[in-house]
Amino acid sequence: MRRVRIIDTTLRDGSHAMHHQYTPEHVFNICSGLEKAGVYAVEVGHGAGAGGSVLQFGLAKHSDRELLTAAARALSRSKLAVLLVPGLGTMEDLKLAYECGARMVRVAVHCTEVDVGAQHIRLGKELGMEVAAFFMMSHMTTPEALAAQAKMAQGYGADMIYIADSSGAQTPHDMEARVRAVQKEVPNLPIGVHCHNNLGLGVANPLAAVDAGAELIDGALEGWGAGCGNTSTQVVAAVLHKMGIDTGTDWYELVETGERYVRPLINRSLEVTNEALILGYTGIYSSFYLRVLEAAEQYGVSPKLIFEGLGRRKVVGGQEDVILDVALELQRQKEAAVS
Amino acid sequence: MQKRIKVGILGPGNIGTDLMYKVLRSPLLEMSVMIGIDPTSEGLNRARKEGVVASDQGIDFLVQNPDLAEIVIDATTARAHSEVNAPLLKKLGKIAIDLTPAAVGKMATPMVNMKDCLNEENVNLITCGGQATTPIVYAINQAVPVEYAEVITTVASDSAGPGTRNNIDEYTRTTANALMKLAGVGRAKVMTIFNPAIPQMPMRNTIFCIPKTSDFRIEAVIQAVQEMARKIQEYVPGYQLTVAPVIDRGIITTTVTIEGAGDFLPKYSGNLDIETASAVKMAEMFAEKLLKERGEVA
């Protein structure tokens, strides 16, 4: 029977949608459910990863240490994972995560910049962690160029390659092409995918990736996450089960955990809104979603125009500060048009 | 005629070559010698074309010809500077301006603390982010005491060399350290983003400051920042205040964008231009002091 492992990121990507307000209690409860359901790993922390609590993305209510310690108490079979974005998170942050019980790190780099993460990948291996090279915004490069980056990551010691569709901008064909290209270049490393639902393809894309050979899938309970959310963990687990693929999880336990502990936290609709669709279509990083909606309201300008302005400036993950420029510029234009 | 102070450059790579063209323009500096270790170096050829003495004999050439420079700008590597160049320059009694991350000498930036560094024998340029943002945080901190400063720097991928990319934590730490020590804020955090977009984007720095008090006028902050930006523009013409300080929910946000002068390095690499332009500005400040002491300022 074919196997696909599931990594749940409700407690990391979902943190964006929560404005980083998770408490140790939320973390403990959700981790307990995920442990019982048997997911391969659980990613915990600020939406921008370890050390990500900064003004640029919003401050976390609780520190990495508090959240990771609560997670470690609940997990034994499932691995505790952290995301680390080099340039933001440091090797000190990674050591602290390890101290708190993290045994997997996903070193997240823009899809063309893996050398920036070489030191962090090596440190993860030195600490004895399982290390994924996690390529963000993978729609912004070609499958071949992505595969070349994956090869470099393998050279630094990465155990697996993650292809992240951070904008939810890819179609199933795009996904498939990237998985195949990476597989061809690094046939020995397992490949995972991380998808968002902005084009309504949050479950279809990972299935296309699995068809092409991916062995790991990211999800979030109830589909909670940046943009209009991630792949729903319980949906993808149930579908894979139905396809006769072993995920090692009890998908019904995932449903229960989502319903009991995540659903009550969700304060807005996770449908594919027009704004999320525009975000996905223009290929803007999903964590910009709520920040753009807020800026649009504050400055009285159209969120659609902000997304388009960001698209023209070719912003990558982390550049949330550009939202203010674009909103101020649109506000000035609007005032000039009125007067 | 105005006397000039002789300047030597170690490291005829892209940075060294850009430095040379800036020194050649200076009314206070004489571009006296360019020193490398590779006889086929393009930078050494360019120096010869400008009529500048060029040598591929490394710093030994300066040891044998010590009168060729009073001020030496080092654009080699951290290791070469700390292990070889810095001790030798000290022995020769030369003023060293260090662009490498070696951090042998005092961290300096022209508009914040350079006047206090004129008796130093070795000063270093911090980092590009440090040169770009320390003066702004310093200016804000003069207008209202700042408890926490955060800097988000985005540069074009093509403008970031392996030195920065492979040592990003060290870069981050050094820049944050400069914000605390030079700008005088209690806590600082730095984030760096590499953007591969083509055409390449100029360097961009967004600076968040949390003031210690709400008892201040944002107009005073804006004025202080505008004044600082104007002073920097005198030696970095492409230094632009993209978002003048705005306050929202108690946080002061400022964005500066830097386009290079395009002397040798491409214009988008404002992050490198602010390093070379600051190094030359610092050399001029040293030169002015030396000339005054000798009664040779016009």
Interchain CB distance below 8 Å, A324 and B246: yes
Decide if B165 touches A, using CB distance below 8 A.
yes
3-class secondary-structure state, position A31 = helix
Q: What is the pLDDT of residue B153?
A: 97
Tokens of A152: 């470099």
Mean pLDDT of chain A: 97
B6 backbone φψ class: left, alpha, beta (φ>0; ψ -120 to 50):
beta
Number of neighbouring beta carbons within 10 Å of residue B67: 9
Q: What percent of chain B has pLDDT over 90?
A: 96
Q: Does B128 qualify as catalytic in the annotation?
A: yes
pLDDT band at B298 (very low <50, low <70, confident <90, very high): low
Q: What is the pLDDT of residue B168?
A: 95
Tokens of B206: 């967004």
Residue partners of B157: CB distance under 8 A and separation at least 6: A112, A113, B194, B195, B196, B200
- State the ipTM, two decimals: 0.95
In this prediction the pTM is 0.96
Q: How far is B183 from chain A (nearest CA, A)?
A: 19
Q: How far is A314 from chain B (nearest CA, A)?
A: 6
Q: How far is B193 from chain A (nearest CA, A)?
A: 6
Q: Which residue of B has its CA nearest to A121?
A: B166
Apex CA A259: angle with CA A37 and CA A290, to 5°? 110
Decide if B189 touches A, using CB distance below 8 A.
yes
Q: How far is B214 from chain A (nearest CA, A)?
A: 18
Q: Which residue of A115, A317, A321 is in closest CB contact with B152?
A: A321
3-class secondary-structure state, position B249 = coil
* pLDDT tens digits, one per residue of B139-184: 999 999 999 999 999 999 999 988 889 899 999 999 999 999 999 9
What is the biggest distance separating any 2 CA atoms in chain B, rounded to whole angstroms? 61
> DSSP code of B104?
-
Q: What is the pLDDT of residue B161?
A: 87
Q: Which residue of B150, B192, B242 is in closest CB contact with A55?
A: B150
Interchain CB distance below 8 Å, B193 and A325: no
Interchain CB distance below 8 Å, B191 and A56: yes
Tokens of A15: 């943190």
3-class secondary-structure state, position A193 = strand
Decide if B250 touches A, using CB distance below 8 A.
no
Question: What are the residues of chain A with a beta carbon less than 8 Å away from any beta carbon of chain B?
Answer: 54-56, 86-88, 90-92, 110, 112-113, 115-116, 118-119, 140, 313-319, 321-322, 324-325, 328
Measured distance CA(A138)–CA(A164) in Å, rounded: 6
Rg of chain B on CA atoms, in Å: 19
The dihedral through the CA atoms of A329, A334, A337, A339 has a sign that is: negative
What is the number of alpha carbons within 13 Å of residue B70 lying toward its C-beta?
14
Residue partners of B123: CB distance under 8 A and separation at least 6: B96, B97, B98, B105, B106, B107, B108, B114, B117, B282
Q: What is the pLDDT of residue A270?
A: 86
Interchain CB distance below 8 Å, A318 and B152: yes
Residue B122 to residues B88, B107, B285: CA-CA distances in angstroms? 12, 9, 14
Catalytic positions of A, written as ranges: 16
Q: Which residues of chain A have pLDDT under 50?
A: none
Q: Which residue of A has its CA nearest to B205?
A: A321
Omega before residue B199 within 30° of 0, cis: yes
* A300 vs B2 pLDDT, higher one: A300
Q: What is the mean pLDDT of residues B204-214?
A: 97
Q: What percent of chain A has pLDDT over 70?
A: 100
Interchain CB distance below 8 Å, A115 and B162: yes
Tokens of B46: 């360019």
Number of neighbouring beta carbons within 10 Å of residue B283: 25
User: B145: exposed, middle or buried (C-beta count within 10 Å: 0-12, 13-18, 19+)?
Assistant: middle
Q: Which residue of B has its CA nearest to A122?
A: B166
Query: B206 to chain A: which residues are within 8 Å by CB?
Result: 56, 321, 324
In chain B, % helix, strand, coil (3-state, to 5) comes to: 40, 25, 35
A:B CB pairs within 8 Å = 84
The dihedral through the CA atoms of A321, A114, B13, B58 has a sign that is: positive
Mean pLDDT of chain B: 96
Is the pLDDT at B62 greater than 90, yes or no? yes
Give B189's strand partners: B150
Q: What is the pLDDT of residue B191?
A: 97
Measured distance CA(A100)–CA(A102) in Å, rounded: 6
